[in-house]
Amino acid sequence: MSIVHTESLTKVYGDVSQPIPAVRDVNLTVEEGEFLAIMGPSGSGKSTLLYMLGGLDKPTSGKVWLRDSELSALNDDALSRMRRTEFGFVFQFFNLIPVLTAQENVAIPLILDGVPRARALKQADDALARVGLADRTMHRPTELSGGQQQRVALARALVTTPAVILADEPTGNLDSRSSDDVVQMLRRAVDEWKQTLVLVTHDSRVAAFADRIIFLKDGKIVDDNRLKGRGNADQIREQLSKMVLS
């Protein structure tokens, strides 16, 4: 079942005299429970597309639906509410509020939504435990490694059990080990907690975790690649053996 859907989605930056088309005429359907990776050279409009999917940026033309609601038809307050209840965001940089503890950072969307603080903090603890940071709840962001910070951000995205998690190069700033942790966790969110995930990445090895990869070029989707299950595992083994024995 589709959960996010776009129709002729277009974003043009700049003014009329010098339009910079960032996303052009994108028709995309994200299925519920899907792990979708968006790839493409830098400047191809990946982030812009992602932000429009999450209601962070307004399309120049075209429409975005989350289930039955059309995002561009909402006013700022409704959109804000949507962001804190239906979407979870993970970004590359500046992800956490430096003066808040990990626990509070995770609880923020709940608190902004009016959940009593004690309950919000309890839920935040649970979410942190899910990303393996049960022992770091009282730490400030500066006291955490980059990978840990990103996991806190992930916990924040998960805490509201949003309809969709949107991640913009969440591993772009991490070493390969931390990057692996974060992607594994994202994958688990999809597999075990049935989250829907849209992830922008530059890294093929991160994208390889996805169920589906779309490629953008100059703001357009140029390839939509659904990756099959593991039917070919034996073949791979054989190939590997050959490679080793050669």
Partner 1 sequence: MTAQSSNFGSTVWQMTLMGLRYLNGRRLRTALTTVAIVFGVAMIFAINLALPSMQEAFQQTITSFTGADLSVTSVSGESFPPAAVLEQISSVDQVKAVTGILHRQFSLPTLGESSLGDTTQIDLVGVDPASMENVHQFVISDGRFLEPGDSGKAVLPAGIAELAPQLGVGTTFPLITAGGLKFYTVVGLLAEQGDLAAPEIYVSLADAQAAFNQPGLINTVEVLLEPGANREAAAADIQQAVGAGFTLDQGSNDSNTLAAMQVGFAMFDVLGMLALFLGAFLIFNTFRTVVVERRHDLGMLRAVGATRRQITLLIVIESLIQGLIGTAIGLLIGYLMAQGMISVINVYATDFFHRGSLSLQFSLSGLLGAAAIGLATALIAGYWPARAAGKTAPLEALRPATPANIQRAARWSLIVGIGIMLLAVLLLLTGNQGAAGGAVLFLMGMVVTAPALVIPVARLISPLLSFGFAREGDIARSNLVRQPGRAAITASTLMIGLATLVMIAAMVLSFASLINSLADVNFSSDLILLPQSIAVYDNVIGADENLANRVRALPEVQDVGTMRYASAATADGQALQVMGIDPNEYSKVASFTVNEGSPDAAFAALGSGRNALFTAIALSTVGLKVGDDFMLQTAEGPQTYHVAGIANDLFTFKIAAIFISQTNLAADFHKTEDIMLMINLAPDADKQAALVDIQTILTDYPQFTAHLTGEYRDELANVTSGALILMYGLAFLILIPAALGLLNTLTINVLERTREIGVVRAVGGSRTQVRRVVTAEALLLGIFGAAMGVLAGVAMSYGFIAAFGTVGWEMPYFFPVAGIIAAVIVGVLLALFAAVLPARNAARLDIIRALQYE
Partner 2 sequence: MSVKHALLALLYHHPQHGYELGRQINAVVNTEWDVKLGQVASTLARLKDANLVDYEVEPTDDAPDRKVYFITDEGRRELESWYLTPEVREYRLGDAFYIKLVLSLLGGPVSPEQVLITQRRELFQQLHEVTELLRQADARTQLPWVLLLESATMHLDADLRWIEMCEARLNDLKHYDPPQPTPKPRGRPRRKLAQPSES
What are the residues binding ligand ADP (CB under 6 A)?
Answer: 13-14, 20, 22, 40, 42-48
Q: Which of residues 207-246 bind partner 2 (CB under 8 A)?
A: 207-210, 213, 215, 222-223, 225, 227-230, 232-233, 236-237, 240-241, 243-246
- Residue from 158, 179, 155 nearest 169 by CA: 179
Between CA 228 and CA 106 the distance in angstroms is 34
With CB cut-offs between 5 and 8 Å by kind, which of Mg ion, ligand ADP, partner 1, none does residue 99 bind? partner 1
CB of 40 to ligand ADP, least distance (A): 6
With CB cut-offs between 5 and 8 Å by kind, which of partner 2, Mg ion, ligand ADP, none does residue 56 bind? none
With CB cut-offs between 5 and 8 Å by kind, which of ligand ADP, partner 2, Mg ion, none does residue 222 bind? partner 2
Question: What number of other Cβ atoms are within 10 A of residue 230's Cβ?
Answer: 8
CB of 113 to partner 2, least distance (A): 34
| 91 φ/ψ angles, rounded to the nearest 5 degrees | -115, 175
* Angle formed at CA 159 by CA 169 and CA 227, multiple of 5 degrees: 45
Which CB atom, from 48 or from 179, has the smaller least distance to ligand ADP? 48
With CB cut-offs between 5 and 8 Å by kind, which of partner 1, partner 2, Mg ion, none does residue 109 bind? partner 1
With CB cut-offs between 5 and 8 Å by kind, which of partner 1, partner 2, ligand ADP, none does residue 95 bind? partner 1
Q: From residue 139 to residue 158, what is the string marking binding to partner 1 with x (rule CB under 8 A)? A: -----------------x--
Q: From residue 173 to residue 202, what is the string marking binding to partner 2 with x (rule CB under 8 A)? A: -----------x--x---------------
Mode of pairing for the β-strands spanning 196-200 and 35-39: parallel
Query: Judged by CB under 8 A, does residue 142 bind partner 2?
Result: no
With CB cut-offs between 5 and 8 Å by kind, which of partner 1, ligand ADP, partner 2, none does residue 100 bind? partner 1
**Contact by Cβ (8 Å): 99, 140:** yes
Question: What number of other Cβ atoms are within 10 A of residue 122's Cβ?
Answer: 15
Secondary structure (3-state) at 196: strand
Q: Which amino acid is at 9?
A: L
Which CB atom, from 22 or from 207, has the smaller least distance to ligand ADP? 22
CA-to-CA dists, residue 230 to 111, 208, 233, angstroms: 42, 12, 6
Question: What number of other Cβ atoms are within 10 A of residue 69's Cβ?
Answer: 13
Which CB atom, from 161 or from 227, has the smaller least distance to partner 1? 161
Q: Where are the alpha helices (DSSP H) in the chain?
A: 46-53, 76-85, 102-112, 117-130, 146-159, 176-193, 204-207, 233-245
Selected range binding partner 2 among 15-23, 26-34, 60-68, 205-213, rule: CB under 8 A: 205-213
**Contact by Cβ (8 Å): 17, 26:** no
